[in-house]
C-alpha cells in the first residue's frame, strides 16, 4: 500500500463537506436512518478509496442508503472532492473517516444490510495478517453490525488474499456463495467496477470474487 503523506489542514478541510462527511459518526450509532431521513436499507463500503464504486452504487440505487468508510483522511478528502467535481454527492450517500476495527462503535447490531470490500490491501507479510480486512477480527465486526443473513461482497486481484479470505470465512462459519476465480468470465449482473478493477482487468489479470452470508 502506498504511503499517504499527511497534509496539514486536512481535517479542517473535511469539515467544510459536512453533512456529506459525517464528522462524529459514533454519535449516530443505531440512528443512521435519521441522518438519511428515511428507513431505507444501509450498505457500506469499507476502504472506499477514491469513492467511485460507492458513489456509482448510490446513483444507481436511490432506494438504498450507502456509507463509504475510509481510514485515511487525505484519501477521504480527495474522494469527496472528486465526487463534487463530477456529478456531485448523491443524497443517499454519506462518508466517514474511521478505522474498520471500530465498526461496532459506529453501528448497532443489525443496522447494516451489506458490506463491500473491494481490492483491500493484501498485507502480504504473515505478521500483518490481522490487518487484512477479511481477518477473523474484522469478520467478527461485520457479523456484529449486519442484519440476519446480511452479506459481505468481496473482490480482489490478489490470489493469496483470496485464498486467505476463503479460509477465514469458512473458519468463522460464514456461508460462501458465487465464488469466482475469474469474475470476468461470467460477470455478475449489475457489476460496478472500481478504478483498480478496471486497471487490473485491462492488464489481463483475473479478478477474484465471493459473497459470504453472515453466520446464524
SS (H, E, C) 77-134: HHHHHHHHHCCCCCCCEEEEECCHHHHHHHCCCCCEEEEEEECCCCCCCHHHHHHCCC
Here the cell at position 4 is: 499517504
State the pLDDT at residue 2.
37
Q: Which CATH superfamily is domain 37-213 in?
A: Vaccinia Virus protein VP39 (3.40.50.150)
Catalytic residue among 91, 105, 113, 121: 121
Percent of the chain residues topping a pLDDT of 90: 85
- Would you say residue 3 has pLDDT above 70? no
pTM of the model: 0.93
State the pLDDT at residue 6.
56
Q: Is 121 an annotated catalytic residue?
A: yes
pLDDT tens column, 166-196 = 999 999 999 999 999 999 999 999 999 998 9
Amino acid at each position: 500500500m502506498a504511503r499517504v503523506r499527511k497534509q496539514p489542514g486536512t481535517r479542517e478541510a473535511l469539515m467544510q463537506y459536512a453533512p456529506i462527511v459525517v464528522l462524529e459518526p459514533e454519535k449516530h450509532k443505531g440512528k443512521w436512518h435519521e441522518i438519511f431521513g428515511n428507513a431505507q436499507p444501509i450498505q457500506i463500503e469499507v476502504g472506499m478509496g477514491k469513492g467511485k464504486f460507492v458513489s456509482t452504487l448510490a446513483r444507481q440505487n436511490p432506494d438504498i442508503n450507502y456509507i463509504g468508510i475510509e481510514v485515511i483522511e487525505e484519501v477521504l478528502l480527495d474522494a469527496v472532492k472528486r465526487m463534487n467535481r463530477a456529478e456531485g454527492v448523491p443524497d443517499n450517500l454519506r462518508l466517514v473517516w474511521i478505522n474498520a476495527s471500530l465498526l461496532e462503535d459506529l453501528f448497532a447490531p443489525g443496522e447494516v444490510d451489506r458490506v463491500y470490500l473491494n481490492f483491500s490491501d493484501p498485507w502480504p507479510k504473515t505478521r500483518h495478517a490481522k490487518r487484512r480486512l477479511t481477518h477473523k477480527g474484522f469478520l467478527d465486526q461485520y457479523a456484529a453490525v449486519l442484519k440476519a443473513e446480511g452479506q459481505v461482497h468481496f473482490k480482489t486481484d490478489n490470489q493469496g488474499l483470496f485464498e486467505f479470505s476463503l479460509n477465514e470465512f469458512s473458519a468463522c462459519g460464514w456461508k460462501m456463495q458465487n465464488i469466482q476465480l475469474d469474475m470476468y468470465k461470467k460477470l455478475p449482473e449489475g457489476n460496478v467496477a472500481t478504478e483498480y478493477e478496471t486497471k487490473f482487468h485491462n492488464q489481463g489479470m483475473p479478478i477474484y470474487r465471493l459473497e459470504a452470508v453472515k453466520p446464524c
